[in-house]
């Protein structure tokens, strides 16, 4: 008994001694000022300073001899003065900034010429085509900038289909600037009494083309340039531009701004990059087959040598590749998963207007219960897929990383699922249908059926063409 206690005590003492020696040997000493600086920062972690978070920004401030080029847009000058007081250096003062939308292409001034049937994302739509109007420069109205704002400082105006900035909530973090693929959002100085001078248009087409696409477009007529006596306006690329410095020019000399701008430039599409800068000449390149043959000649390790080209040449007349599919579920049987304890059902699972919730917190729902109804012609009903109780109606992050409205249902455990009355669950195939076409479309609309091609377009809209349309 005593021997066991003594042995365990010795093991504990030896282990504690080893841990102490290792901790002293590999101790990482951190500047104690980092914690003090991080404490005075707003902890928004928005990335507006050019660093991944407030902790990284605090470390950069402590490592730098001066605070030149380091600025927290959320806290502003008061916070930077506190940081400078901790570090014993002078803080850089900057005028407060706010986001501005340089597009006035309302629905009345810029009528839609087509209907976009694709993913509800400005980035994806801009990569596909110019947009649903004749103006290829203006806002697409799919709210990428709104979803990127973590401070609820923006919303989409349903009448104009343009984003609106809430100046009292905007912290000038620059998230909306990076999210806009059309580059119509800028950070500018708030100005005295919230007055700013900027041209609410970025269309660089010639006057006639721009005016035809949008009634509010700048045509570069130079009238404002001739009228201004303070040289505050310039004309370039068929567009009038205010010479009042924006955030990009005001902080372009800072390392954090250069880092942010370089990251944004790296994410540009080729067509977008061509608009902003001259296209660099592409380096000459060899055909892929010749490159492959040259790589086979190099002394590479076996695991990095390219695979033989023989099977490609047999399959395709001009060559090609057959990469392995690597489908993890290819040889696995279909399994029935158990019900989760809670489900989050988005109410915007389709293109168009999101559905309007018809349930409230505390309501009991069954499988097939309509929990959100259409809020417009291009919309779709949402049904409950489980039996349970509604616990919350709020916004949640979806698979794309954006916050979307959704309904949370706590699943009833240990009981058999209950289905909504009136739902035909029989497996018998209905071979004859005596319903009128309108009744069929109404049933499809009530069922919330949408397409599965990627755009999730409501099926009842596809089956309801205008009276004069062909087919």
User: What does the DSSP assignment read for 114-142?
Assistant: S---S-S-HHHHHHH-S-SBS-SSS---S
> Given this model, what pLDDT does residue 228 score?
83
> Given this model, what pLDDT does residue 66 score?
87
Cβ-count burial of 464 within 10 angstroms (0-12 exposed, 13-18 middle, 19+ buried)? middle
Q: Among 93, 103, 148, which Cα is nearest to 123's?
A: 148
> Given this model, what pLDDT does residue 299 score?
55
Mean of pLDDT over the chain: 81
Examine the pLDDT at 191 and tell me if it is beyond 70. yes
Average pLDDT over residues 412-428: 85
Examine the pLDDT at 164 and tell me if it is beyond 90. yes
Q: Among 99, 56, 96, 54, which Cα is nearest to 76's?
A: 96
> Given this model, what pLDDT does residue 266 score?
40
Six token digits for residue 113: 């010429």
What are phi and psi for residue 217, nearest 5 degrees? Answer: -75, 150
> Given this model, what pLDDT does residue 364 score?
94
Examine the pLDDT at 182 and tell me if it is beyond 90. yes
> Given this model, what pLDDT does residue 381 score?
93
Examine the pLDDT at 231 and tell me if it is beyond 90. no
How many Cβ atoms from other residues are within 10 Å of residue 331's Cβ? 6
Query: For 1-10, 184-193, 309-318, 407-416, which range has the lowest pLDDT when averaged over its residues?
Result: 309-318
Tens digits of residue pLDDT in 304-347: 455 544 434 445 555 566 677 777 777 788 888 888 999 999 99
CA 17 to chain centre: 51
Query: For 251-255, 414-418, 437-441, which range has the lowest pLDDT when averaged over its residues?
Result: 251-255
pTM of the predicted model as reported, rounded to 2 decimal places:
0.48
> Given this model, what pLDDT does residue 318 score?
55
> Given this model, what pLDDT does residue 322 score?
64
Q: Give whole-number Cα distances, 42 to 34, 74, 171, 259, in Å.
A: 14, 7, 11, 21
How many Cβ atoms from other residues are within 10 Å of residue 335's Cβ? 6
Tens digits of residue pLDDT in 353-395: 888 999 999 999 999 999 999 888 888 999 999 999 999 999 9
The residues near 89 (Cβ < 8 Å, ≥ 6 apart) are 65, 66, 67
The dihedral region occupied by 454, where left means phi > 0, alpha psi between -120 and 50, and beta the remainder, is: left
Cβ-count burial of 104 within 10 angstroms (0-12 exposed, 13-18 middle, 19+ buried)? buried
Tens digits of residue pLDDT in 95-126: 889 999 999 999 999 988 888 888 889 999 89
> Given this model, what pLDDT does residue 426 score?
85
Examine the pLDDT at 22 and tell me if it is beyond 60. yes
Q: Among 405, 399, 355, 416, which Cα is nearest to 380's?
A: 355
CA 122 to chain centre: 9
Tens digits of residue pLDDT in 46-84: 888 888 889 899 999 998 888 888 989 888 889 999 999
Examine the pLDDT at 91 and tell me if it is beyond 60. yes
Which run of H or of E encompasses 346?
Answer: strand 342-346
- Residues 243 and 45: their CA atoms lie apart, in Å, by 32
Pairing of strands 382-383, 370-373: antiparallel
The residues near 9 (Cβ < 8 Å, ≥ 6 apart) are none
Q: Select the more confidently predicted residue: 83 or 287.
A: 83
Which run of H or of E encompasses 406?
Answer: strand 403-411
Query: How much of the chain, in percent, has pLDDT values that exceed 90?
Result: 32
Examine the pLDDT at 24 and tell me if it is beyond 60. yes
> Given this model, what pLDDT does residue 311 score?
39
Number of Cα atoms under 13 Å in the Cβ half of residue 196: 23
Q: Select the more confidently predicted residue: 386 or 431.
A: 386
> Given this model, what pLDDT does residue 74 score?
87
Average pLDDT over residues 136-147: 93
Query: For 53-67, 237-251, 449-463, which range has the lowest pLDDT when averaged over its residues?
Result: 237-251
């Amino acid at each position: 008994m005593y021997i066991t206690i003594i042995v365990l005590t010795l093991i504990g003492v030896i282990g504690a001694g080893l841990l102490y020696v290792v901790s002293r040997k590999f101790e990482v000493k951190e500047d104690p000022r980092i914690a003090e600086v991080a404490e005075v920062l707003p902890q928004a972690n928005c990335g507006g300073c050019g660093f991944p978070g407030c902790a990284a920004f605090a470390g950069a401030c402590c490592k730098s001899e001066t605070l030149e080029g380091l600025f927290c847009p959320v806290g502003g000058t008061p916070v930077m003065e506190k940081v400078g007081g901790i570090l014993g250096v002078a803080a850089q003062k900057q005028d407060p900034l706010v986001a501005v939308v340089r597009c006035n292409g309302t629905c009345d001034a810029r009528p839609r010429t087509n209907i976009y049937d694709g993913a509800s994302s400005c980035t994806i739509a801009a990569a596909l085509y110019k947009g649903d109007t004749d103006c290829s420069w203006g806002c697409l109205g799919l709210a990428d900038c709104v979803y990127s704002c973590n401070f609820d400082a923006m919303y989409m105006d349903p009448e104009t289909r343009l984003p609106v900035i809430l100046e009292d909530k905007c912290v000038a973090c620059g998230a909306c600037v990076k999210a806009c693929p059309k580059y119509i959002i800028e950070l500018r100085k708030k100005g005295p009494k919230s007055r700013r001078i900027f041209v609410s248009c970025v269309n660089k087409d010639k006057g006639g083309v721009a005016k035809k696409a949008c009634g509010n477009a700048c045509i570069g007529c130079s009238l404002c340039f001739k009228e201004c006596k303070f040289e505050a306006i310039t004309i370039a690329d068929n567009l009038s531009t205010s010479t009042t410095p924006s955030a990009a020019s005001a902080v372009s000399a800072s390392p954090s701004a250069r880092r942010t701008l370089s990251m944004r430039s790296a994410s540009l599409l080729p067509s977008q990059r061509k608009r902003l800068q001259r296209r660099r000449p592409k380096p000459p390149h060899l055909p892929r087959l010749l490159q492959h043959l040259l790589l086979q000649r190099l002394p590479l390790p076996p695991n990095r040598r390219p695979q033989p080209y023989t099977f490609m040449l047999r399959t395709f007349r001009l060559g090609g590749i057959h990469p392995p599919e690597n489908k993890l579920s290819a040889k696995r049987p279909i399994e029935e998963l158990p019900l989760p304890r809670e489900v989050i059902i988005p109410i915007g699972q389709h293109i168009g207007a999101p559905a309007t919730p018809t349930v409230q917190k505390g309501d009991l729902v069954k499988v097939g219960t309509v929990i959100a109804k259409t809020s417009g012609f291009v919309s779709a009903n949402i049904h409950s897929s489980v039996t349970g109780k509604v616990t919350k109606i709020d916004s949640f992050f979806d698979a794309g990383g954006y916050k979307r409205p959704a309904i949370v249902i706590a699943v009833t455990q240990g009981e058999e699922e209950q289905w909504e009355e009136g739902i035909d669950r029989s497996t018998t195939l209905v071979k004859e249908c005596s319903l009128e076409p309108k009744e069929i479309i109404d049933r499809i609309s009530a069922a919330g059926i949408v397409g599965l091609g990627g755009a999730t377009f409501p099926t009842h809209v596809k089956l309801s063409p205008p009276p004069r349309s062909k087919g």
